[in-house]
Chain A
C-alpha cells in the first residue's frame, strides 16, 4: 500500500481532485452566459489500483468523468459524441425539460447536444442512463456536476471527490473502493492543506452494488450541506453517509498542523482502497 510512485491511475485521481471543467464560455445577446462542453464516451483501460487494469467505459477518458462546473442561470450545451462500443447517454440531475434528461440511447458513432439552463444551484451528478443501468454506471460513466450559486461561495481550497467501486470478477461485489478511481491514492500522497484554510469538498457517492458509502474525518469536525444547498439542514459532524447518487458539500478548517486520516467508515471499503490523508502545514 505504501507506494510513492505516481502511476497513471494515481495521476488521474490527483488531477480530478482539483480540476473543474467550466466549458467554453460565450456571452449571449440577452446577457446570459453560454457554456459549451465536449463530452466523448470512449472505452478505455483505467488503472484503478497499482498495477490493476480495469476495462472501463468513460466520459473523456477518466473514471469518474470530468467535473462540469457552471453558475446558476447559465445556458449549458453538452455536445456528446459516443465513440464507445455500446449505446450511452448523459443523464444530469437537476431541473430541466424531460427531453434533455438522457433517457434516449445515443448509439456508437452518433452525437447529441443536451441543452438546458443550469438550476438549481448545488452539487449535482451525471451518469449514463442506458439499460442495464448497473453495468453502465459501474463501468465508469459518471461524474460530479457543480452548479455554483449566483452569489459566490466563500473562497476556499476546493476538492472534488467521487466515491466509487470496481467489481473485477463481475460477481456483483466490488473488489476495490476508491475516491476518484484509484485505490489508496491520497493515502500514499496526502492532500496538502494550509492551517486554518477553508477546505470545501464536493463529495458524491457513485458506488455501484453497495447501498451506502460514507466519509469519516479523523481528529476534526466538518459542516455538511446535503446536495450542496445552504438552505438544507446542515450537520456538524465527523461522519456522514450517502446512498447511491447522494451527494453534498463538506466545509472544514484544520486548526492543528499534522496528518489527518479520512476514509469510509465501512472498514471493509477503507481497507479495500477508500482511505486517505490530509497533511496540514
Chain B
C-alpha cells in the first residue's frame, strides 16, 4: 500500500525527467537560434565623478555579451570595463568613461555590444554624485529629519487638543486616519511599481512589490490572530495599534526618503525651502493618525517620542540609502513591505470602527465618519501638490 503510494509520486517525476532529457538532447523542435541576438545589458547606476562617468552594469540576458563601444551624446568615446568587457550571465561590471561633462546638462550614454545591441543610460542633469562623506551624510540625514521626524512630532502635538473629543468625534478622527492611510497605501504601491520598473526585468520588480505587500499584510494579520488566541485578549491595545501604524508609516517614509535621496543624488531635484515646507505639511497628518488610537488612554511622553522616531526616522535612513547606495529592486521590496503594513493598519482600524459602532447600535458610515474619511483623503491629496516633482 505504502509502496503504491510512493510510486504514484515517482511516475510523473520520472516522466518529467525523461521529457526534459529529450528536449535538452534533441531540442524542442522549434528554431534553435533566435532571429536576433538577445542581449540584455542593464545600466543599474550612473555615478558622475570629477573625471567623467562610472556606470554599474549587469548582464541579465540569457547569453554572455561583450561591451565593444561607448557613445556619449552621439560621440564615440574611450572607456574601460572592469573586470573585463565580456560579461557572463549575471556578471556585473563597471564602465569608466573620462568625459568633460557640463554641469546641469543632460547626458545620454550608449553602450554598444559586439552584436550591435544598444543600452542607453541617461544623466538627466549632470552634477557630481555625492560621495559618502561626513558632511554629505549629515546633510542627507537633515533632509530626512525635516521630512520625517519634524512633521510627525508636530502632528502628535495635537494629541492634547484631540483628547477632549467625544467618542463619536474620536471615531471621526479614526475615519480620517483611514482616509489618509488609504492615500498612503496607494501612493506607496505606485512608488513601488515605479521604482520596481527600473530594476532589471529578470527580477520582475512589480511582482516583488505585490509579493512583499500581500505577504506582509497576511503575516501581520496572522501574527495578530495568533497573539489574540494566545493571550485571550480582544484586539490590539491602543498603544499597540499606534505602534503598528507608526511602523507602517515608517516604512512609507523610508520610501519617501529613498525617492528624495536618489533624486538629489541624480541632480533631478534641488533641495528647496518650498519642498521642505511641502513635506512638513504633507506628513503632519501622519502624526495625527498615529495619535488617534491613543485618545482613550493616558500615554506617557516617552511613548510619543518612541512613536515619532519609529514613524519618522526611517525617512533619514531612506535618504541615506537613496543618496548613496540606491538599488531599484531593494527599493521595490521595502515599498512593498510598507504598502502591506499600511493595508493591515487600515484593516485593523476599520474593524475597530465597525465593532465600536455595532456595540452602540450605530451606522458605521455616519456623516461624521464619511466626512472624516473624505477630509483625510483630501488633505493628503492637496498637500501632495507641494511635494510632487
Chain A residues within 8 Å of B, Cβ to Cβ:
1-2, 49-55, 168-169, 175-176, 183-184, 268, 271-273
Report the Cα distance A168→B114, complex, angstroms.
Answer: 11
Inter-chain contacts of A183 with B (CB < 8 A): 76
Query: Which chain B residues (80-126) contact chain A, with CB distance < 8 Å?
Result: 85, 110, 112, 114-118
Query: Which of the listed residues B71, B116, B118 has the most CB atoms from chain A within 10 Å of its own CB?
Result: B116
Could you say which of B74, B76, B112 contacts A168, with CB atoms under 8 Å apart?
B112
Which of these, A2, A55, A176, A273, contacts B78 with CB under 8 Å?
A2
A residues less than 8 Å from B76 (CB atoms): 1, 49, 176, 183-184, 271-273
Please pick, from A52, A268, A271, the residue contacting B112 in the complex, using a CB distance under 8 A. Answer: A52
- B residues near A55, Cβ cutoff 8 Å: 116
Q: How far is the CB of A53 from chain B (nearest CB, A)?
A: 6
- The reply to whether A54 and B66 contact each other, CB–CB distance below 8 Å, is no
A-B contact count (CB 8 A): 49
Once A2-B78, A271-B75, A272-B76 are accepted as A-B contacts, the answer to whether A49 and B69 lie under 8 Å apart by CB is yes
The range of chain B's interface size is 10 to 19
User: Do residues A51 and B66 form an inter-chain contact, with CB atoms below 8 A?
Assistant: yes
Contact in complex: B114, A51 (CB < 8 Å): yes
**Cβ-defined contact, A175 with B112, below 8 A:** yes
- Interface on chain A toward B: helix, strand, loop, or mixed SS? loop
Please report the C-alpha to C-alpha distance between residue A2 and residue B98 in the assembled complex, in whole angstroms: 14
CB neighbours (8 Å) of B75 from chain A are 268, 271-272
Q: Given A169-B118, A175-B112, answer yes or no on A52-B78 (Cβ-Cβ < 8 Å).
A: no
Q: Which residues of A contact B77 (CB under 8 A)?
A: 1
Pick from A50, A169, A184, A268: contact of B68, CB below 8 A: A50
Residue pair B69, A51 in contact (C-beta under 8 Å):
yes
Residue in chain B with minimal CB distance to A267: B75
CA distance A184 to B66 in the complex (A): 20
CB-CB nearest in chain B for A183 = B76
- Are B68 and A168 touching (Cβ within 8 A)? no
Within the complex, the shortest CB–CB distance from B133 to chain A, in Å, comes to 35
Q: Is the CB of A272 within 8 A of B71?
A: yes
> Of A54, A175, A184, A273, which is within 8 A of B118 by CB?
A175
| Cβ-defined contact, B74 with A52, below 8 A | no
> Taking the nearest CB of chain B, how far is it from the CB of A200, in angstroms?
29
Please, could you name 7 A-B residue pairs with CB atoms under 8 Å apart, sorted by A? A51-B66, A51-B85, A53-B114, A54-B116, A175-B110, A175-B116, A176-B76
Per the bound structure, the CA–CA distance linking A58 and B133 in Å amounts to: 56
> Are A271 and B114 in contact, with the CB atoms below 8 A?
no
Please give, as numbers and ranges, the residues of chain B lying within 8 Å of A50 by CB-CB distance.
68-69
Chain B residues near A2 (CB-CB < 8 A): 78
Assuming the contacts A271-B74, A272-B76, asked whether A53 and B116 have C-beta atoms less than 8 A apart, the reply is: yes
The proximity string for B residues 40-79 relative to A, scoring 1 for CB distances below 8 Å and 0 otherwise, is 0000000000000000000000000010110100111110
> Measured between C-beta atoms, what is the minimum distance from A242 to chain B in Å?
21
Query: Contact between A175 and B68 (Cβ–Cβ < 8 Å)?
Result: no
Chain A residues near B69: list those with CB within 8 A.
49-52
Complex CA gap A50/B112 in Å reads 11
Which chain B residues border A184 with CB–CB below 8 Å?
76
Q: A23 vs B175: C-alpha distance in the bound complex, in angstroms?
A: 91
Could you tell me the distance between the alpha carbons of A184 and B68 in the complex, rounded to whole angstroms?
14
Complexed CA–CA distance, A53 and B39 (Å)? 14
The answer to whether B74 touches A272 (Cβ under 8 A) is yes
Cross-chain contact A168 with B78 (CB below 8 angstroms): no
CB distance from A77 to the nearest CB of B (A): 37
Q: Find chain A residues with CB under 8 A from B115 CB.
A: 53
On chain B, the residues within 8 Å of A169 by CB distance are 116-118
Given A1-B77, A53-B115, A169-B116, 8 more contacts at CB 8 Å?
A49-B69, A49-B76, A52-B116, A168-B116, A168-B117, A169-B118, A176-B76, A272-B74
**6 nearest A-B residue pairs (beta carbon):** A51-B68, A271-B75, A168-B116, A52-B68, A169-B118, A268-B74
**Assembly CA distance A175 to B69 (angstroms):** 11
* Residue of B68, B76, B78, B112 contacting most chain A CB atoms (<10 Å): B76
Check A52 against B71 for contact (C-beta < 8 Å): no
B71 CB contacts on chain A under 8 angstroms = 175, 272
- In the bound assembly, the distance between CA atoms of A55 and B36 in angstroms comes to 10
Chain B residues, CB < 8 A from A271: 74-76
Look across to chain B and name the residue whose beta carbon is closest to the beta carbon of A270. B75
Give chain B nearest CB distance to A181 CB in angstroms.
14
Q: Which of B74, B78, B118 contacts A1 (CB 8 A)?
A: B78
What CA separation (Å) do A1 and B78 show in the bound complex? 6
Q: Give bound CA distance, A41 to B74, whole Å.
A: 32
Whether the Cβ atoms of A49 and B78 lie closer than 8 Å is no
Compute how far the CA of A55 lies from the CA of B37 in the bound complex, rounded to whole angstroms. Answer: 11
State the Cβ distance, B33 to closest chain A Cβ, in Å.
13
CB distance from B339 to the nearest CB of A (A): 37
Q: Report the separation of the CA atoms of residues A170 and B116 in the bound assembly, to the nearest whole angstrom.
A: 10
Q: Which residue of A lies closest to B66 (CB)?
A: A51
Nearest-CB residue, chain B, relative to A271: B75
